[in-house]
Structure formats: C-alpha cells, structure tokens
Structure 1
Amino acid sequence: MTRSKIIGAVAVVLAVTLPAAQPALGAAAATSAHPPAYAAADDPVRSPRKFDPDAGARTGVPSRPDLTARSRAAGLTAAQADALQVKADRYLAQLGEPATQVTPDVIQLKGAKLHLTVPGSAQRAPGCPYYYFCAYSGPRFTGDWIHQEECWVERYIPWTGQGSWINNQTRGTQPLLEFNSGELWWMPGAYAQQATGVGWDPVFSITACFHPSMAGTTGSAG
C-alpha cells in the first residue's frame, strides 16, 4: 500500500474514533491507531531532519550570487543578502526533497511555498490567506513560514523549537498532523490558530485539507 493510501485509510478510521475537541499541540492528543508499517523506525525516509534555520545562517559563502544581487537591489545590506542565501542553502540541503529556490526568500516545495525571513531581522510573517494552512517557525506567527497550497500533500515540518500555526482553510477543515513517532492527530477545524506553545520538535508532518467527512477526496486547497 502506498504512503498516500495509508494516510487516507488511517484518516477514515480516525474520523470515527477521535473526539471533536483537541488539546494543545504536543499534549497527549495523538492516537496510536496507525498501521505498524507506518511507524518511523520502519521507514528511513521518515528520519527527522530537524534544525534551527537561523543558527549559523549569517556565516558561510552563499551559492547564488544572482539571488544575493537581487536581495541587494531590494534594499538589503551585503551581510543580510548573504545571510539570507546561506539560510536558503541550508534549507535546500537539509530538506532532502525536490525543492527549488524561486526568489531570494521563497523556496517552492511540493504542494507548498517556504518563505524565508532575513536572519537577525524583526520581520514578522504576514497573515495566512483564506484556503491555506500556514505553519510558522517562531511563536506568534514569526520567523520562516510555510503556506500549504495543495490538498492531500504531506508537508514535512523541518523546524526545532517553539512555533505557531494558522488554519484558515474552508470552515471545519481539519489538517492531519503526524508526530515523529507515527502517531496521528486531527488538528482543530478552520478557522483556528495557535500562537504559542507549539513545539515543533516532535512533529513530523502536516497534511492540509483533511476533514473527517472528506477523507480520500482530492483537490486544491479550498
């Protein structure tokens, strides 16, 4: 059975077994009712590649002088432009998946865009657009952020530390969160958000657009 089919099968089971009310992320909110073949120890692809995207991002030699030049043209200092590209390089090396840097501060992932902030800046991430699920590397919607654009695409969460999230999909839609252990949890239905207390360390992935009454359906966000 493929990984996507396993997710769909588990979603159908969880839609029946999990209560509607969910505790805060990171609490005892998960269920162990998942196929043993889906456990982290059985799949080397699931080995976490967690990291702090800003740690060491201000040093190193950036790989894309064309993009650092674009950052300079947009008003960044030479040091800021270099640090931003070094951060992007670290993401591209760490994610271990097909990814393309399309602008100095955006990396296109499968089904999502990863937006980068300038290391050391106080830049605040924008709000989460309607139809999207958004994950933020920092608390109170700060730091780097992921806009999940496509339904049913499992989105690996690479960060360590404390972050935040916004579920601004269509009303009632519940993303499916998976922990590194393989346990699964229905997140609160849209609209919902959590500004603090989100520990990213134990989180493996989040899949947008799941809904107990819609498991197995395909489509775009919204």
Structure 2
Amino acid sequence: MALRKLIASLLTTLALVAAAVTGFTGPATAASGTGAGSSTGSGSGQGFTAQAKQAGLTTAEARQLQRTVDGYLTTVGGKQVAPNRIELAGQGEIVVAMPGERYARDLSSPAGTRAACPYENFCMWTGTGFTGTQFNLWKCGTYDLSNWNGPGSWSNNQTPGTRARFLDRGYNTIYTTPGAYANSAYYNWTPVWHVVPC
C-alpha cells in the first residue's frame, strides 16, 4: 500500500508539473526563486541558511532546515520566501517546523510559539496536536498530498460553515469536516490523497 501510494504520488507530482504549465489552480509545482537569498529547490538556499543562523539556529540546524524546505520544493513546488516558509503560488503556504521544535512558527517568534491558522484558511499539520510542518490553504481547489502517511491534525478556520473534503486516490470523498470553525488534533492522513478545502 505504501509503495503504491509513493509511486502514485510521484505520478501526481509529474501531472501537477504539466498542469502548472497549463494554468492548473492547485498548488504550484515549479520551485523558482529569483534574487538574493532565494532558493530554487536545488539545495542552493545560501541566503536563507544565513538568515536562519541569524535567527539563532546552528549551522547544522540551518542546513537541516534548508534540506527539509528543498524536499518540499521538490515534491510540492512553490517558492521559498523565508528560511522556513514556502508560498504556493497565491493558494497557500507551507511553514516548516524548525529542527528540534514541535511547532511551525515565524522565525521572528520565540521558540515554542505556534504559527496561527489564519482566518479563512484550512490548515493541516504533519504531526498530531497541531505539530510539525503546517500547510495553510486559502484558495479553493484540489490539493494533492505527497507522502502524507500516518497521523497528523487539521484546523478549519474558514468562513463560518465552510467544510473541507478529504478525497481518496480516485477522488472519492472519504471525509467531510464539520463547518468552520472546527479542528481535529488527530487525523490519519494515510488514506487521503487529495484535499478540497472549500
């Protein structure tokens, strides 16, 4: 099952690359950044590594963070805009948890501070209890999940009454969230292949 899901995720990523060229409304898949300190997803991120070190991370932690961000840029796409933040072409963002920390946060916030799930967003975490890397989705559309296996969590902070749907590999709805505001500190992402936030 896990191997089939990984293969299908890779095929989905390839399909998303093709879709990005044709204007697909889901997450961006071409990781491109220009200008000083931007990452192209190829492990360059030198400027962001320096920023992470200025924020108090050790050299090893800053490099580990950049490797994690590069992994998301490769599998999900988007554009790195901060040491631990990726924009998904105006559709959402990824906030990566710092090495050794439970919660995703803005670098200017102290360690242990949780990044908020902004109003009008559907947020997902790779860990239970709203821990780990955080995905904030604010645009309606179908988002493909890549390698989301095991337990995590979610928060539906969209406009009142808005529901998110979780879909299986065949785009069949397997779960519909309660209307906003709602959340779950534990949800098994393994059967979920796609999310429609609204």
- TM above 0.5, yes or no, is yes
1:193 paired to 2:172: no
2: CA distance between counterparts of 1:85 and 1:189?
A: 36
Alignment: residue pair count: 151
Contact 2:169 2:193 in 1 (8 A): yes
| Residue 104 of structure 1: aligned partner | 83
1: CA distance between counterparts of 2:45 and 2:101?
A: 21
Q: Of residues 143, 147, 155 in structure 1, which corresponds to 2:143?
A: 155
1: CA distance between counterparts of 2:164 and 2:102?
A: 29
| Residue 167 of structure 2: aligned partner | 178
2:118 counterpart SS class: coil
Identity %: 35
1:80 paired to 2:66: no
1: CA distance between counterparts of 2:116 and 2:73?
A: 25
| Structure 2 unaligned residues grouped into runs of 5+ | 1-7, 15-41, 105-113
How far is 1:63 from its partner? Answer: 2.5
1: CA distance between counterparts of 2:158 and 2:120?
A: 4
Q: Which of structures 1 and 2 has the bigger CA Rg?
A: 1
2: CA distance between counterparts of 1:65 and 1:79?
A: 13
How far is 1:195 from its partner? Answer: 0.4
| Residue 194 of structure 2: aligned partner | 205
How far is 1:122 from its partner? Answer: 3.1
Match for 2:121: what amino acid?
Answer: Y
1: CA distance between counterparts of 2:103 and 2:166?
A: 27
1: CA distance between counterparts of 2:157 and 2:53?
A: 33
1:118 paired to 2:107: no
How far is 1:62 from its partner? Answer: 4.3
Contact 1:135 1:146 in 2 (8 A): yes
1:120 counterpart SS class: coil
How far is 1:91 from its partner? Answer: 1.1
| Structure 1 unaligned residues grouped into runs of 5+ | 1-40, 48-60, 210-222
Q: State TM-score, norm by structure 2.
A: 0.69
- Residue 169 and residue 123 in structure 1: after superposition, are their counterparts in 2 closer, same or farther (change >3 A)? closer
2:183 counterpart SS class: strand
1:45 paired to 2:12: yes
Alignment deviations for residues 32-74 of structure 1 (CA, whole Å, 9 cap, x no partner): xxxxxxxxx8xx5378xxxxxxxxxxxxx94211110011111
Q: Of residues 129, 132, 157 in structure 2, which corresponds to 1:143?
A: 132
2: CA distance between counterparts of 1:45 and 1:156?
A: 7
Q: Give the CA RMSD over aligned residues.
A: 2.3
Q: Tell me which of the two structures has the higher relative contact order, counting C-alpha pairs closer than 8 angstroms and 6 or more residues apart.
A: 1
